Amino acid sequence: MTAADNNPLIDRRQAMRGAAMAGAGAMFLSPAMALSASSDMSAIRRAAEAGRQASIQRIQDWIKLPSIAAEDRNMPEGADYMASLAQDAGFQHVEIVPTDGYPGVFATLDAGAPRTLGIYFMYDVKQFDPAEWSSPPLAGAIVDRPGFGKAIMGRGAVNQKGPEATFLAALHAIRAAGRKLPVNIVLIAEGEEEIGSPHFKQVATKPNVLAALKKCEGIFIPASWQDKNGNVSVNLGSKGIVELELVASGEKWGRGPKGDIHSSLKAMVDSPTWRLVQALQTLVTPDGNTPAIDGWFENVRPLTAREKALIAETARNSDEAQRKAILGVETWIDDLPFEQALQRLAQEPTVNIEGLVAGYTGPGGKTILPGAATAKIDLRLVPNQTRAEAETKLRAHLDARGFPDVEVNVSGGYDPTETDENSRLIRTELATYERAGITATLNPRLAGSWPGATFTAPPVSIPAGHFGMGHGAGAHAPDEYYVVESTNAKVAGLVDATMGYADFLYQLAAIR
C-alpha cells in the first residue's frame, strides 16, 4: 500500500492448526468445516462454490479496467465501475462522491442489524510496464504459482482488486443462500490511494458519509497475506507517509543553466544536479540510515513494553533466513540482530529516495549539464508524527541549510494509525482466524502505509485495520498475482477466503 504494501512482519511459527487434511490436492480447512453445525454457513458455502467462476470472472474483468491516478487513466470509468460492483453486491444506496481530485464512492447496505461494519476499498492501481511481465498485465490470466496453486495474474490482482472482489463475493454468496446479513455495511472507496490519497478526507467527511462511518464498529481493508504456512499478522497500526518531489533547477536557483547545456561548460557553470545531491545529503546521517531533518524525532513515540514483547515473539517464531531470501538481502541495517531490526522497522521514521532523475538516462552517454534534477521521496511517519509537521520541518530544514530554492512538491500522504488490540474489530479478526485454524500474530505496526488515519483520527474516530485470508504477491511489481485455487493445504483459495469474510460478519455480530 502505500495501502497495499505486503506485510513485513509475517509470522511463520507453525503450520495451521487443524490442517490435517493431507495429500497434494488437499484444500484449506475452511471456516464452514469448523461451523458444520451452522446451516447458515453451510448454505453460504454452497452458494460460494456455485458462484466461484463468477467470482473469478469479476476479478478478471476488474483487472481489465486499470484506473491509474498518476497517469489520469480511466478515472471516471473506474469510479463508475466501482459503483456498479457495489450495486451488484446488494448495496441499496450507492453514490459517486466528487472531490477536488478524482472521485470516491460511498455505499450502504442496511440489513436492519444492530451493528455496522465499515469497509475501505481502493479502485486505483499502480502503473506498469508490459515488457516486464511474463503475462500481459491486463489479461488476468490464470497461471501456476509453485507452492500455492493457480492464481490470477494482473495489475491490481492482489493490490487490491482480488481481496476486495472476494469480500464482494461473500455478500453475493450470503444473498444467494437466502440468508440475511448479520451486520450492516458501509463501503467507502477512493481512486487516489496509489498517489497518497490527497483528497480522500473530502470523501470521508462529507456529512452523510461521516454520519454513516461514525456508526461503524470499525473498518478494514481486505487483504490476502497468508504465508506458505498459512499464518497471518494482525496489524495494530500502520506508518503514515508523505510522498513528494524535491526539485533543484537553474531557473529557481538563479545559478546554473535554465535548460540542458553541453557538459564541457561545467568548468564555468554551476550544476543544479549537484545542488540537489548536496541538499539530499543533509536529510540523513552519512550512512543514509537515520533522518537528520531538524526536529524530526521530537514527537516520535518510543515503542511500549507491550509492543516490544509482540515484536520479540514475532522474531522468535519467524524464519529470518527465508525473510532475507525473499527480500534479496544479506544483512539488516547497521548489521542489527533480527529482533532489533524488527523493532527498528516498527519504530523508526524514514527518509527514502524512490527515484533520482536528471538529464539523459538512455543508452550510451550524452554529454550534457542538466538544467534541473528531481528526487522522488517518501517519508514514513510513526506515532506521534503528523504529515503537516513533516512537511513544515522539511521545508524549514532546507531553508536553514541554505536551500530555499529547492522545491518541495508534495503529492499526497497521511498520518500514522493506531488501533487498540482490545477493540471489537481486532478481537473479531482474531476470533475469525482462530475459528479457521489460522495462527495469527499481533503486529504493533505495519511498516507500509494506507489512509487508515482518515478513520482512526477525528472526526471519524473508529478502529481501522486489515483482514482477510488467502495469498497474493507482487504489489507494485511485475507479475502481480492472487491465488484463486490453492494447492497448499494451509492457504485459502478463493472460496475459503470468501467464507472467511462471511464468518467475520457473523463473528462481529456475535462478539461481546
pLDDT reading at 129 higher than 80: yes
DSSP designation for 66: -
Grid coordinates belonging to 188: 467507502
Q: Where are the domains of the chain?
A: 31-238+417-510, 240-300+349-414
pLDDT reading at 122 higher than 80: yes
pLDDT tens readout for residues 399-444: 999 999 999 999 999 999 999 999 999 999 999 999 999 999 999 9
Can 31-238+417-510 and 240-300+349-414 be said to share one CATH topology?
A: no
User: CA–CA separation, 397 vs 282, rounded Å?
Assistant: 9
Average pLDDT for residues 387-406, to the nearest whole number?
Answer: 98
Phi, psi of 277 (to 5 degrees): -60, -45
Average pLDDT for residues 32-57, to the nearest whole number?
Answer: 81
Confidence of residue 33 (pLDDT cuts 50, 70, 90): very low
Per-residue confidence (pLDDT) for residue 317, from 0 to 100? 78
User: CA–CA separation, 16 vs 10, rounded Å?
Assistant: 14
Per-residue confidence (pLDDT) for residue 53, from 0 to 100? 98
Average pLDDT for residues 163-185, to the nearest whole number?
Answer: 97
Per-residue buried b or exposed e for 484-510, using 16+ beta carbons within 10 Å of the residue's own CB: bbbbbbbbbbbbbbbbbbbbbbbbbbe
User: CA–CA separation, 482 vs 448, rounded Å?
Assistant: 19
Share of the chain above pLDDT 90, in %: 88
Grid coordinates belonging to 143: 497461471
Per-residue confidence (pLDDT) for residue 68, from 0 to 100? 98
- Among 29-43, 80-94, 197-211, 279-293, the range scoring the smallest mean pLDDT is 29-43
The fold of 31-238+417-510 is: Aminopeptidase (3.40.630)
pLDDT reading at 10 higher than 90: no
pLDDT tens readout for residues 446-492: 999 999 999 999 999 999 999 999 999 999 999 999 999 999 999 99
User: CA–CA separation, 48 vs 25, rounded Å?
Assistant: 20
The residue whose grid cell reads 455480530 is 509
Per-residue confidence (pLDDT) for residue 318, from 0 to 100? 82
* 3-class SS of residue 186: strand
pLDDT reading at 70 higher than 50: yes
Average pLDDT for residues 101-127, to the nearest whole number?
Answer: 98
Phi, psi of 173 (to 5 degrees): -70, -40
Per-residue confidence (pLDDT) for residue 328, from 0 to 100? 87
Per-residue confidence (pLDDT) for residue 5, from 0 to 100? 41
CATH class (in words) of the domain with range 240-300+349-414: alpha beta
pLDDT tens readout for residues 210-267: 999 999 999 999 999 898 889 899 999 999 999 999 999 999 999 999 999 999 999 9
Per-residue confidence (pLDDT) for residue 75, from 0 to 100? 98
Per-residue confidence (pLDDT) for residue 12, from 0 to 100? 29
User: CA–CA separation, 341 vs 318, rounded Å?
Assistant: 13
pLDDT tens readout for residues 308-360: 999 998 898 788 987 888 788 999 999 999 999 999 999 999 999 999 999 99
The whole-model pTM stands at 0.88
Per-residue confidence (pLDDT) for residue 229, from 0 to 100? 87
pLDDT reading at 15 higher than 70: no
Grid coordinates belonging to 20: 490435517
Confidence of residue 141 (pLDDT cuts 50, 70, 90): very high
